[in-house]
Amino acid sequence: MRGIWTLPDAPKSSVLRGLVVAVAVVQSVVLGLLARRGSWLSDDLDFLVQGSRGFAPAELLTPVNDHIAPGLRFVYAVFAKVAPLNHDFTVGWRTVMQALAITLMGLLLLRLLGSSWWVLLGTLFYALTPLSMPSFMSLSSGVNNLSAHVFGLLLLHATIDWYDGHRRALAYGPLALLISLACWEKSGLILVTAIALALYLREQPMRVWLGKTWPFAAALAAPIVAFGTLYLTRGNPSRGRVLSASQLLELIARGFEVPVSAAVGGPWRWAPAGQPLSLAAPPVAAVVLGALVGGLLLVVAFRHNHRALLLWASVVSYVLVTVALVSYGRFTGFGSVFTVHYHYWSDLSIPLTLAVVLSASTVRIAVPAVGLACLLVGVVVSDVGFAGPWGRNPAKAYFATVTAELDRTGPNVNLWDTSMPQPIGTALMSDPRLSPVLRMAGKEFRLQAAGSEPLLVDDTGHIRPAPFAVWSRAEPPTRGNSFCNLLVHGTEPLTIRLTPVQNEVATAEWFIKAAYFSNRENQVSVELLDADGNIAALPAADWPAGVGSMYLGPSHRIRATEVRLRSSDPATNLCVENLEIGLPR
């Protein structure tokens, strides 16, 4: 045909395998270099601290937010054990997993299409789509989704193996599904694609095909039952809410923007969130152009290969289920924004790639060079747009400075137990304090040790002296003791009223500075109380004998009006000379 760029004859399968591997290596290395521009996100730090607790079943089965993900816990435990707080090590892991996924997709297409240039084109589409790029960047999402890609594709290979008569599929197919579920329960949607692929390959009458299918289906049911039992007994599902019909229809429409814009290399543009949250904001042009491409592919599939519509049906199923799950579990907290959070959409690229390639490959025409160029331009624009906010993550410079400062000051440095600055530490973290992260990394320091005034790790990661901004002071009793006005004696609790020095009683995560003397070491716990009787307990601490100062905190957020000191030791004898609550600045 004149005016259309034509492809040369397809090479041998061995050459195509080599090209697939080359695409996998180059693309994964490029993404790895891009990932190194950024650093840790808050979930990563939370999961690393959890991972540092080891590989015991109780730790691996601790829910992740509202997920049960022992696979994710296991991977983070490896990171914490082998290379704690080493971001480059995690980039290397992601690069290997990405290369494996791309290679498995290319080999899957080779098994489906034989020696065809569409194998290479399909591998490129899968490798380049921005659907999975944000998940590679975020480590926590990468552990979820890269595992879903690798083991989901192994399940698809097992599906083909089974119908080719290879009984090994009964072993590695269910195992791949179980591992995938253990890393990310939503990855179970790969079963819809596996069913679509099995029906696409069906050559026998339905009754005969069902007879051949049931042993493999029964084998796949085993990991589903096993993980389902684990989820029901150990999971922590969200208390979501069912949306109205109009809200759900709006979210479904936004959900279908994801595969539509991906067909032309979209999003092209990301929502400005102030940090790399992977929120898509595709322009109208990307949606319209993607809809035209998708519509054309559907027409081609309908006219030339009806069975390719099965893969399109798996794409539709994936979108509907994802929208339903995300909107039910996340709408109350985040509204409609998480519908286009690409951490939830990564493995959609598997059924989408199969649907696109199996539809387009049925027509023996060359691929227009301009089409390939437009797809590549869209991908480049999307990736560059993501690289900007991703590279501005302050965690990389912050932790480099903190570790250098700790090396300079030595293991005896005494630090306030303060939180990490935003956006490194956020309200979504179970514990935003810096100290657990540093302990996970094996750094030596003292934390609010008695005797010496603690130093502060500031928002830039530097260690410096910290003035203590006093907010309230202990109010001495109306009838004092000639020896000690505030005496903790035996097991009788001592409750002390607080007098504000800032003309108001504020709510905060308070620290306590207490000057005291005692003739013995005492273990005394401290509680902050508000006017309604709510209590924020601080961890019990040993107060050394002699004259000194104790530094405690942070508390839970409370509007403190009183302080209570208590001990379980009848021999306790401790005099508090001065007690202040406030914040190190």
We report the CATH number of the domain holding residue 483 as 2.60.120.260
Tens of pLDDT, residue by residue, the chain (585 residues): 334 445 566 788 999 999 999 999 999 999 999 999 999 988 899 999 999 999 999 999 998 877 889 999 999 999 999 999 999 999 999 999 999 999 999 999 999 999 988 899 899 999 999 998 988 999 999 999 999 999 999 999 999 999 999 999 999 999 999 999 999 999 999 999 999 999 999 999 999 999 999 999 999 999 999 999 998 888 877 777 888 888 888 889 989 999 999 999 988 988 876 666 678 889 999 999 999 999 999 999 999 899 999 999 999 999 999 998 888 877 776 777 777 788 889 999 999 999 999 998 877 655 544 666 778 888 889 888 888 888 888 999 999 999 999 999 999 999 999 999 988 988 778 899 999 999 999 999 999 998 789 999 999 999 999 999 999 999 877 665 667 889 999 999 999 999 998 877 789 999 999 999 999 999 999 999 999 999 999 877 899 999 999 999 999 999 999 999 999 999 999 999 899 999 998
Query: Is the same domain home to 421 and 278?
Result: no
Helical (H) or strand (E) element with 523: strand 522-529
Query: Is the same domain home to 519 and 388?
Result: no
Q: What is the 3-state secondary structure (H, E, C) of 173-186?
A: HHHHHHHHHHHCHH
Q: What length does the chain have? A: 585
CA–CA gap between residue 427 and residue 448 (Å, rounded): 23
Query: Is the same domain home to 272 and 303?
Result: yes
Query: Is the same domain home to 305 and 287?
Result: yes
CA–CA gap between residue 435 and residue 292 (Å, rounded): 53
CA–CA gap between residue 223 and residue 182 (Å, rounded): 10
Taken in order 487, 491, 492, 497, the sign of the CA dihedral is positive
Q: pTM of the predicted model, to two decimals?
A: 0.92
Between the alpha carbon of residue 401 and those of residues 266, 295, 453, 497, 558, the distances in Å are 37, 52, 22, 40, 32
> What's the first-to-final CA gap in the chain, in angstroms?
74
356 lies in some domain: yes
**Which of 465, 494, 522 is where one domain is finished?**
465
Q: How is residue 182 written in tokens?
A: 């253990």
Q: Is 201 helix (H, G, I), strand (E, B) or coil?
A: helix
Q: 492: domain range? A: 468-584
Q: How many domains does the chain have?
A: 3
Sheet holding 463-465, edge to edge: 446-447, 414-415, 455-457, 463-465
481 lies in some domain: yes
Query: Is the same domain home to 474 and 429?
Result: no
Query: Is the same domain home to 460 and 505?
Result: no
185 lies in some domain: no
Query: Is the same domain home to 258 and 289?
Result: yes
102 lies in some domain: no
Taken in order 163, 168, 174, 178, the sign of the CA dihedral is negative
Pinpoint the alpha helices (H) of 361-495.
Answer: 369-391, 395-409, 435-440
Q: How is residue 356 written in tokens?
A: 């696109």
Query: Is the same domain home to 244 and 334?
Result: yes
Q: Bridge partners of 31?
A: none
**Which of 415, 444, 465 is where one domain is finished?**
465
183 lies in some domain: no
Q: For residue 4, give the amino acid letter.
A: I
Query: Is the same domain home to 566 and 532?
Result: yes
Query: Is the same domain home to 425 and 531?
Result: no
